[in-house]
Amino acid sequence: MQKHIMVVDDSPTIRSSVAFCLRNAGYEVDEAKDGQDALERLDVLKEAGTPLALILTDINMPRMDGLTFIGKVKATAFRYLPILVLTTEGEQGMIDRGKVAGASGWLIKPFHPEQLLWAIRKLIYTK
Amino acid sequence: MNEQDETLQIFFAETEDLLRSAEESLLRLEAAPQPGSDVEELFRAIHTLKSGSAMVGFPLISEYSHVLENLLDRMRSGRLTITKPLITFLLTDLDFLRQMVDRGGRGEPEADPETVRTRKAQLNRFLGMEAIPGEDVVPQAAKQPAPSPAQAAAAPSAPAKLSAALPRVDADGARYYQIDMKFRPEIFQSGQDPLLLILGLSEMMEVVDVLADLSNLPPYERFDPYSLYISWRLVVKGKAGIDEINDVFLFVKDDNAITIEDVTGRFKAGVDLEAGERPLGEVLLERGIITREDLGEALLKQKKLGEILVEGGKVEAGVLRQVVTQQEESRTTYRKTSVRVDVEKINHLVNLAEEIGVSVSRMKDILDRSESRPDPEMEQELEGLLKINREFQERVSQVRMFPLEGTFRRFQRIARDTAFEQGKRIRVELNGVDTELDKEVIEHITDPLKHLVRNSVDHGMESPEERLAAGKNPEGLISFNAFQKGGMILVQIRDDGRGIDMAKVALKAAEMGILKPGETVGPENLLEFLCRPGFSTAGAVTALSGRGVGMDVVRTEVEKLGGTLSVSTVKGEGTTFTLSLPLTFALMDALHVKVRERSYLIPLWGVVGTEAYRPESARFFGADGRVYPFREEYVPLVSLASLFGVPGAGGASEPGRVLVFLDTARQRFGLLADRVLDPHQVVVKSLEINFKSVKGVAGATIMGDGSLSLVLDLFALEEMVFRQGGSNA
């Protein structure tokens, strides 16, 4: 069965390119445009019984930012899910704040597809 | 339109939205120039544009947005005052960005470098004396088309250092690294899995050894499945550099104790993980760092744990003594339960026990022959001594008895390996692994059995395809069975393979010129052919079973031990080889019979009954064969006198003789003798050297009265009786 990965980013460009890369690598991708949207999608997945393998989330987003979102995920049944934060260069402090919030790893934008997959391989079992 | 183009289209549409929203924010700021949501929104728009443009491959747009973002960050934090000229400039900046996007969309370069430099200089003016640090920090991926995968993730901590420290593969070979991983117990809460890291490591390096430290595992009741209690030490070998290994632990190294050490120098000759388990002194000594004298001196100075604790006032001396005594006690108790003894010593005991047995038997004989009536008390004591000695011999023999389990496990392995090499699929079943055999017997049968095991897999077992075609389970079954039957231990190797093809054996036998004209191959003489030196039913000699030991050697070995080899086979259903072995081959209970003045000893295990011979009950069978009724069946009858050509023995009709009925587990027959005396325990020695040539005789022994007695070989007798149709009466 294909593994589900949720991509949370307010930029459609980032979502599209990340999703493109993940689908190419054989993953099923769920997209959410901010933390709020992502939480709602998590509820839908939970209802449908779809297992999720990983969340990729941006930090700086409208409505609900990434750090708040991670904190909320940690209070749900998805709390042991690996979460990869997407940050931009020059945001060293963000990585630390992400780790405190409960992120499992990070990825600096912009990244190459192989960098994305390399980071994912550290967090989930791949075929 | 492919998906990448689609992403580009999404980018253009998004950029349009971002720039419009940025413009709106700027216009609102113009009306109310102070930090707040408008600046936040502006910042986010440029930030998003920065990453998006880098992702779709517009490095110049990304670079310029980056510089702009830095300026906006100062505005946001209040370090840069928002002024009208600044807003005007930012509005033209948005136009500049839009222009670059448009040019990029048409496939042209986004901007000429000169224009970018001019605009950056203008931005700098707004920042006063301060230079914009972002100028130096340009997105790595945008500049280098194919950076190392680790780079993007690792960039923030040390971007410059990382690119400089990219692993240089050492041309002259692999390096060893020792990696100690001690993770936080709550590591799973951050969605990380240490096993993935070990897997990741094993993808790039060869894992030479892994040690898992389980000492922190709590008792079951306190075990939390969401906590990690295990830490690891890995030794890996490969050409990757230490930075590459560091990258594997990128996400965990800050919050967990991960140490990576290049131990190539220490482990060049090979990895010695055990060094950690052994006493330090021993390791130092071994490496030649200290001498034995140094070690001894140091050890003398070293205080005992107990002394230190007593001195420190942690334990009272009395309490300590008590615990030490308890420890000592427990050690001695353990020593009592098991001793290792040289097998030679046991053999010596067995021999002594045997000799005592012979002496006691002789004493009894002397007493029996004495003229005067023996003292009843003396007689009683002698009886008791005989009994005790019998038990003593049994017990001593038992010391040498070992269960067959270990031997069977080795065969299981051989069978599996052989099958694997030949692409055959087998299942191995072990039955009766607790069955005990004399150690020496086990040693002697191991090689013959090994040969039979290989034979079964090699010749007996079909390939999975063949088996399927024959309607059998593609997985063949090989079973090793051991059980006691009478005084013999039977060891069987059974396969459910194709069976031995009699026609093929006959063909081969004819080829070899060992098949007499008119002779056929059947179950009764199959073994004779198989055991001919150089005989093999397989067309080609395989590396495994066709080498060295042959069936002839197998049979010889088994017979040397006083055992027999037999085979039964059904075409298409399988083959069973059976080894019948004496429990122990040093000692034997035997029935003492006499024909005229000659003594014969019949192994007691084969004796099923004795009775007075009534000539009128014998029935003639065929030309000169005779049968005799025994337990509701007629069994062949043979006279010992005629078998061994005893001179002066009486004819078949002579009265007062005795019949001994024998059962070899294969056949029953009767032996005619003159007299039956008491059973004896006899020692059979050097049987194969002196008496090999006398058919039907296994060996000789000295009787209580000093006379010599022949020990009969029941299987050989059986063969003589049945091959000759019992015609020797």
Residue-wise pLDDT for A41-98, tens only, equals 999 888 888 889 999 999 888 889 899 999 999 888 888 899 999 888 666 778 888 8
Tell me what pLDDT residue B267 has.
Answer: 61
Among B62, B157, B191, select the one facing A80 at the smallest CB separation.
Answer: B191
Segment among A63-72, B158-167, B341-350 with least mean pLDDT: B158-167
Tell me what pLDDT residue B656 has.
Answer: 76
> Which among B450, B416, B421, B390 has a CA at the least distance from the CA of B588?
B390
**Across the strands, what pairs with B234?**
B179, B210
Q: Does residue A124 form part of some domain?
A: no
Chain A residues touching residue B226 (CB < 8 angstroms): 80
Q: Does residue A125 form part of some domain?
A: no
Residue B726 pLDDT level (bands cut at 50, 70, 90): very low
Please check the confidence at residue B337 and state whether its pLDDT lies above 70: no
Residues in chain B: 729
Which of the 8 DSSP states describes residue B378?
Answer: H
Among A60, A99, A119, select the one facing B255 at the smallest CB separation.
Answer: A99
Q: Does residue A123 form part of some domain?
A: no
The total of other beta-carbon atoms located within 10 Å of residue B406's CB is 12
Question: How many domains does the structure of chain A reveal?
Answer: 1
Q: Does residue A68 form part of some domain?
A: yes
Mean pLDDT of all residues in B588-592: 78
Q: Which two tokens stand for residue B89?
A: 């400039």
Mean pLDDT, all residues of chain B: 77
**Contact yes or no for A12/B13 (Cβ under 8 A):** yes
Please check the confidence at residue B139 and state whether its pLDDT lies above 50: no
Chain B residues touching residue A106 (CB < 8 angstroms): 153, 156, 251
Tell me what pLDDT residue B268 has.
Answer: 53
Q: Would you call A105 and B192 a contact, using CB atoms and an 8 Å cutoff?
A: yes
Report pLDDT digits (tens) over B70-95: 888 888 888 888 888 888 888 888 88
Q: Would you call B188 and A20 a contact, using CB atoms and an 8 Å cutoff?
A: no
Report pLDDT digits (tens) over B429-460: 888 888 888 877 888 888 888 888 888 888 88
B44 touches chain A (CB under 8 A): yes
Tell me what pLDDT residue B491 has.
Answer: 92
Q: Which two tokens stand for residue B583?
A: 């429990």
Tell me what pLDDT residue B156 has.
Answer: 39
Q: Would you call B55 and A17 a contact, using CB atoms and an 8 Å cutoff?
A: yes
Which of the 8 DSSP states describes residue A58?
Answer: E
CA angle centred on A64, ends A61 and A65, rounded to 5°: 50
Tell me what pLDDT residue A8 has.
Answer: 95
Chain B residues touching residue A21 (CB < 8 angstroms): none
Q: Chain centroid to CA B462: how far?
A: 25
What part of B 59-78 touches A (C-beta under 8 Å)? 62, 66, 70
Q: Compute the distance between CA of residue B407 and CA of residue B414 in angstroms, rounded to an integer.
A: 11
For residue B156, the chain A residue with the least C-alpha distance is A92
CATH no. for residue A58?
Answer: 3.40.50.2300
Name, in order, each residue with C-beta under 8 angstroms of B199's C-beta and a sequence gap of 6 or more: A125
Report pLDDT digits (tens) over B96-134: 898 888 888 888 888 888 888 888 887 777 766 444 444
Q: In what order do the strands lie in the sheet with B574-582?
A: B426-431, B476-485, B488-495, B574-582, B564-570
Report pLDDT digits (tens) over B390-401: 788 777 777 777
Residue B159 pLDDT level (bands cut at 50, 70, 90): very low
Q: Compute the distance between CA of residue B211 and CA of residue B195 in angstroms, rounded to an integer.
A: 13
B610 touches chain A (CB under 8 A): no
Q: Compute the distance between CA of residue B686 and CA of residue B60 in angstroms, rounded to an integer.
A: 99
Tell me what pLDDT residue B382 has.
Answer: 83
Mean pLDDT of all residues in B686-694: 49
Report pLDDT digits (tens) over B254-282: 888 888 888 877 665 444 544 555 667 77
Q: Would you call B196 and A121 a contact, using CB atoms and an 8 Å cutoff?
A: yes
Is pLDDT larger for residue A11 or for residue B647?
A: A11
Between A and B, how many residue pairs show a Cβ–Cβ distance under 8 A?
Answer: 148
Tell me what pLDDT residue B539 has.
Answer: 43
Residues in chain A: 127
Q: Compute the distance between CA of residue B470 and CA of residue B266 in angstroms, rounded to an integer.
A: 59
Q: For chain B, how many helices (H) and strands (E)?
A: 26, 22
Chain B residues touching residue A109 (CB < 8 angstroms): 51, 54-55
Alpha helix stretches (DSSP H) within B476-525? 502-512
**Across the strands, what pairs with B490?**
B483, B580
Mean pLDDT of all residues in B243-248: 85
Q: Does residue A9 form part of some domain?
A: yes
Report the range out of A19-33, B300-314, B528-542 with the highest average pLDDT: A19-33
Burial class (CB in 10 A: 0-12, 13-18, 19+), B355: exposed
Q: Would you call A13 and B190 a contact, using CB atoms and an 8 Å cutoff?
A: no
Q: Which amino acid is at B619?
A: R
Q: Compute the distance between CA of residue B510 and CA of residue B28 in angstroms, rounded to an integer.
A: 111
Tell me what pLDDT residue B170 has.
Answer: 40
B32 touches chain A (CB under 8 A): no
Q: Which two tokens stand for residue B514?
A: 């060992």
Alpha helix stretches (DSSP H) within B277-404? 280-286, 292-301, 305-311, 317-337, 343-369, 376-399
Is pLDDT larger for residue B589 or for residue B620?
A: B620
When scoring A83, A112, A121 by the number of chain B Cβ atoms within 10 A, the one with the most, hence best to mutate, is A112
CA B19 to chain A, closest CA, distance in angstroms equals: 13
Q: Would you call A82 and B192 a contact, using CB atoms and an 8 Å cutoff?
A: yes
Name, in order, each residue with C-beta under 8 angstroms of B627's C-beta and a sequence gap of 6 or more: B618, B619, B621, B634, B635, B636, B637, B726
B189 touches chain A (CB under 8 A): yes
In chain B, helix, strand, coil percent, each to 5?
Answer: 50, 20, 35
What is the residue range of A28's domain? 4-113
Q: Does residue A41 form part of some domain?
A: yes
Please check the confidence at residue B136 and state whether its pLDDT lies above 70: no
Report the range out of B158-172, B354-368, B497-511 with the highest average pLDDT: B497-511
Q: Does residue A37 form part of some domain?
A: yes
Q: Does residue A119 form part of some domain?
A: no
B216 touches chain A (CB under 8 A): no
Among A16, A114, A121, select the one facing B6 at the smallest CB separation.
Answer: A16
B105 touches chain A (CB under 8 A): no
